[in-house]
Amino acid sequence: MDTGRIGILTGGGDCPGLNAVIRGVVRRALADDVHVLGFKSGWQGLITGDVEPLTRLSVAGIQFRGGTILGTSRTDPFATAESLAQIRENWRKYGLQALVVVGGNGTLTVAKRMFEEQGYPVIGVPKTIDNDIPGTDFSFGFHTAVQVATDAIERLHTTAESHHRVMVIEVMGRHTGWIAAYAGIAGAADFILVPEVPFRISRITEALANRRGMGRPHSIVVVAEDAKPHDDEDFLTESQKTTIYREERLGGIGHLVAREIERLSGIESRVSVLGYIQRGGSPNAFDRILATRFGVKAVEMVLEGQFGRMAALSGTSIVDVPLTDAVNGYKYLDAEFYRHAEIFFG
């Protein structure tokens, strides 16, 4: 018996675990004879009517795969009145009763507006390797990205030690330092520079001198892509800042940190920018489980009529929180966590 039809879309950057959410949604929905339509390439698919029915067979085994079988985009349906009108038409055409929106800050902000301003029954699922969405202890994708970054940092120890160099590794995370701090601790970094705490390069070079005195001239410095020098010791030009800290694409601070460390300390320094490798490939077990549970929860929220809310992790429980809380700024790195990381600096 067909008792309903819900839609699902994935928006923003790809992220390990998206397919596990899709499978979780489909399997939980089918248990109540609810059918699921997958809209392609984020909001774009709902605008153009690019859609595929998702069946038990079409989602079989996809939880192991990275990326999203639905494709993704950063399309904003509020960009034109025409897009919103097309969505209204498609919503009717496909007989949707609810929409599950899987995304990060940008996509969930649109979901909230769709609920509040346009009256659509929408449920959010928090996705991002950056772990910066308020209201949930973790977003899926984060732990996989941390593992990738940790493995990379561990490998850099070899070159740092053999060549007596400073190895700087730039990691993702947009405006927060979660990936840098977690992977930095796990990979035994000697310094971790995060956006939440402006850094003083002199502190690093002094510690490097101490390390050299101990017979350990090599070091590993993890730099989050939005890390910034303290005003007291700002070595970046205005034009460098404009290039590095672009809202749409951050990147480049690692090279400038390495150059400044080499200039001040005389120790040969090299850089690795980890980039998209951090969000590619198969999700780890933690993210598969979290994403699956989020998918199941999202459908249960639909069945209970809990619209305008987001599935979230609180401790070990899957709960739901208002979308308004989730898109209210960023969840910044915990100060206590960074304080613990600092114990191992130098």
Q: Give me the active site residues, please.
A: 130
Q: Which residue is nearest to ligand F6P (CB)?
A: 172
**Out of 99, 123, 201, 250, the residue judged to bind ligand F6P by CB under 6 A:** 250
**Out of 249, 263, 339, 340, the residue judged to bind ligand F6P by CB under 6 A:** 249
CB of 183 to ligand F6P, least distance (A): 13
Asked if 181 is part of the footprint of ligand F6P (rule: CB under 6 A), the reply reads: no
The residue range among 46-54, 80-88, 168-176, 307-315 that interacts with ligand F6P, by the rule CB under 6 A, is 168-176
Asked if 148 is part of the footprint of ligand F6P (rule: CB under 6 A), the reply reads: no
Asked if 143 is part of the footprint of ligand F6P (rule: CB under 6 A), the reply reads: no
Q: Which residues touch 188 (CB under 8 Å, ≥6 apart)? A: 153, 154, 157, 220, 344
Q: Could you write out the DSSP letters of every residue in 193-242? A: E-TTS-B-HHHHHHHHHHHHHTT---EEEEEETT--B-GGG----HHHHH
Where do we find the tokens 């910044």?
332
> Environment class of residue 112 by beta-carbon count within 10 Å: exposed (0-12), middle (13-18) or buried (19+)?
buried
Q: Which two tokens stand for residue 140?
A: 């899926």
Asked whether 321 and 312 are in contact (CB, 8 A), the reply is yes
CB of 127 to ligand F6P, least distance (A): 9
Site string for ligand F6P, 1-40 (x = CB under 6 A): ------------x---------------------------
Asked if 128 is part of the footprint of ligand F6P (rule: CB under 6 A), the reply reads: yes
Q: Could you write out the DSSP letters of every residue in 316-327? A: TEEEEEEHHHHT
State the residues that interact with ligand F6P by CB under 6 A. Answer: 13, 104, 128-130, 172-174, 225, 249-250, 279
